[in-house]
């Protein structure tokens, strides 16, 4: 009986983690959120701030972030029309998560590479 109880506890603990990962998972979402929090609002500003991010992928990711209440798309009534993307108040709830991931990543880089976090991992030869 103890084994089933542990399985149930595990499944209940995993559900909110899966929900979180469903929202922020992927290579780009957190990078986009960090870019927005740094003050990049226009599509091209966000795109330029994140190396190797394509326009198509950025558009898709912004739409998903908007659907999850993390990004607000603001259409300015100007000529030509301009669009800005802003983090919502709800996005601030991710701040401790992002900080924890950043801290863990810095420690992991030191653990694996024995180097400070500022040192970039060398790219693999193709």
Give 72-96 pLDDT, tens digit per residue.
Answer: 999 999 999 999 999 999 999 999 9
List of residues 6+ apart from 94 with CB closer than 8 A: 24, 33, 70
Q: Would you identify the CATH topology of the domain 2-87?
A: Arc Repressor Mutant, subunit A (1.10.10)
Residue among 39, 46, 78 nearest 61 (CA): 46
Residue among 88, 55, 51 nearest 71 (CA): 88
Q: Where are the beta strands (DSSP E) in the chain?
A: 71-76, 82-87
- Judge whether residue 57 has pLDDT over 90: yes
Residue among 46, 49, 50 nearest 84 (CA): 46
Domain ranges of the chain: 2-87
| pLDDT average, residue stretch 37-45 | 96
Looking at the DSSP bridge assignments, the partners of residue 46 are none
Instruction: Give the distance from CA 124 to its chain's centroid.
Output: 24
Cβ distance 62 to 11 under 8 Å?
no
Instruction: Give the per-residue pLDDT at 89.
Output: 97
pTM of the shown model: 0.78
Cβ distance 29 to 64 under 8 Å?
yes
CA distance 108 to 27: 18
């Amino acid at each position: 009986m103890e084994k089933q109880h542990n399985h149930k506890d595990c499944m209940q603990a995993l559900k909110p983690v899966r929900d979180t990962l469903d929202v922020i998972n992927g290579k780009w979402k957190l990078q986009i959120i960090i870019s927005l929090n740094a003050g990049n609002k226009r599509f091209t500003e966000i795109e330029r701030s994140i190396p190797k991010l394509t326009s198509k992928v950025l558009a898709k990711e912004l739409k998903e972030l908007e659907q999850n209440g993390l990004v607000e798309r603001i259409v300015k009534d100007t000529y030509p029309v301009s669009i800005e993307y802003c983090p919502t108040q709800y996005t601030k709830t991710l701040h401790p998560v992002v900080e924890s991931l950043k801290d863990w990543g810095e420690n992991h880089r030191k653990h694996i590479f024995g180097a400070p976090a500022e040192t970039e991992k060398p790219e693999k030869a193709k």
